[in-house]
Chains A and B, each alone.
Chain A
Amino acid sequence: QKEVEQDPGPLSVPEGAIVSLNCTYSNSAFQYFMWYRQYSRKGPELLMYTYSSGNKEDGRFTAQVDKSSKYISLFIRDSQPSDSATYLCASQFSGNTGKLIFGQGTTLQVKP
């Protein structure tokens, strides 16, 4: 079993839809949770991160962590064609090596 599981999709939605992307993780020692966005033929870039449980909002994006159910979510409101990308969730132990464990990534297409 992978430590971080993510449905690879693909997911296709119309412009303006609310998008929900989800991951589950198995290791309760994970403390940091991140979402990376990767455009085609580019490296991933950090979109959002949260520490422990709770919500974090940044514009149209909301990241949510529920440690009791080991569930990580990313919500995109008013989705735009420019949001079309692969979204990768990642988790990390609290420690010094900075080793990130990634999910499989979900490919999202937002159609105009």
Chain B
Amino acid sequence: DVKVTQSSRYLVKRTGEKVFLECVQDMDHENMFWYRQDPGLGLRLIYFSYDVKMKEKGDIPEGYSVSREKKERFSLILESASTNQTSMYLCASRDTPGHKNTEAFFGQGTRLTVV
């Protein structure tokens, strides 16, 4: 059974703290993604990585950074947490599509509250 595991279901952090969200996949996928999900806005891509140590900015990268030192692990870092980063964060992984589509597998999400 394929699995994407996010380290925490719920987190409460203080404004200004440095926050690490961890994601691990066991499917040997090249591509990994971080999205945030907010009511009425859907899933918005923060960053994605298509290989170890490779990353690309998504649509809303400001205030975030990422790290991918190993193929199975993709970390999202909030350098200095702010209240407008309160959200549901979803990690996903996916095999390289090539000429065929492949399914993206999501973790269960991390509900982050910044106070």
Contacts and interface: CB of A to CB of B under 8 A. Distances in A.
Interface of A: 6, 8, 32, 34, 41-46, 49, 51, 88, 92, 94-105
A21 to B, nearest CB: 13
Interface of B: 4, 31, 33, 35, 39-45, 48, 50, 56, 58, 90, 92, 94-99, 101-104, 106-109
Contacts, number: 69
B94 A104 contact: no
Nearest to B91: A43
Q: Closest 4 CB pairs between A and B?
A: A43-B106, A104-B42, A102-B43, A98-B31
Contacts of B106: 43-45
Nearest to B94: A98
Nearest to A2: B42
A3 to B, nearest CB: 9
A24 B13 CA distance: 37
A46 B50 contact: no
Given A99-B45, A102-B43, A32 B50 contact: no
